[in-house]
Structure formats: C-alpha cells, structure tokens
C-alpha cells in the first residue's frame, strides 16, 4: 500500500523513480512508495521533471500542483500534490494502477 501523508499544503506521495525505462508509466508499489518509470536519463534533473509531468497527467492536475519536496538526485522522492484530498489522490492512483 502506498503510504500517502497529509501535509498542511496538500498530500505527500512517496515515489521510487526508475529512470531510463522503456516507457513512461506507473509500475505499482514498492516498499510503501509509488513506483514510477520514466524514459528520461537521470541527468540534469530530466528524470525528476519527467516524474513530475507523469504524476500531473495521471492525477489530472496542473503541473504547478505537483512539487518536489525531497530527493532531487535520488530515486526515492517525496512529491507534494496540492488541490486534492487524500482520498482523491488515493482513488486516482488506484484507478491508474488497476488500468496499467
């Protein structure tokens, strides 16, 4: 189960990024984090930016509502989603994971 956290500004989604994958998409759950695959290489923040773009698309929110809190150079990231409730984030992620 993905361990979503409430934050004064929104919801924190723990992410395990997999840069250099064959395709962009969600790949399930790994140790309480959402596993996200992106085709971008892990250089100059390109993979992190691709993760943020993918989450904005998956959650149907604006890119400005998805912010990196920690993990800019790590595969383990904490991402803040604003404008959605914990239940909305959980439901949207679950729907995407079931369709993946």
What CA–CA distance (Å, rounded) separates 16 from 74? Answer: 9
51-75 average pLDDT score:
96
In DSSP terms, 78 is beta-bridged to 14, 70
Mean pLDDT of the residues in the chain? 95
Of the pLDDT bands very low, low, confident and very high (cuts 50, 70, 90), residue 77 is very high
CATH pick for 5-99 out of 3.30.9.10, 3.40.50.1860, 3.30.1200.10, 3.40.50.150:
3.30.1200.10
Q: Between residues 100 and 9, which one has the greater pLDDT?
A: 9
- Residue 1 burial (C-beta neighbours within 10 Å; 0-12, 13-18, 19+): exposed
Integer Cα distance of 93 and 25 in angstroms: 12
Residue ranges of domains in the chain: 5-99
**Rounded Cα gap, residues 59 and 46, in angstroms:** 20
% of the chain residues with pLDDT over 70:
100
Q: Evaluate if residue 100 carries a pLDDT over 90.
A: no
Residue 1: predicted pLDDT: 86
């Amino acid at each position: 189960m993905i361990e979503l956290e409430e934050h004064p500004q929104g919801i924190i989604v723990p992410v395990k990024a997999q840069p250099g994958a064959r395709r962009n998409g969600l790949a399930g759950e790994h140790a309480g984090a959402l596993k996200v695959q992106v085709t971008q290489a892990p250089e100059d923040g390109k993979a992190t930016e691709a993760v943020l773009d993918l989450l904005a698309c998956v959650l149907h929110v604006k890119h400005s509502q998805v912010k990196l809190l920690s993990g800019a150079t790590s595969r383990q990231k904490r991402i803040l989603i604003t404008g959605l409730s914990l239940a909305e984030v959980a439901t949207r992620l679950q729907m995407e994971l079931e369709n993946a």
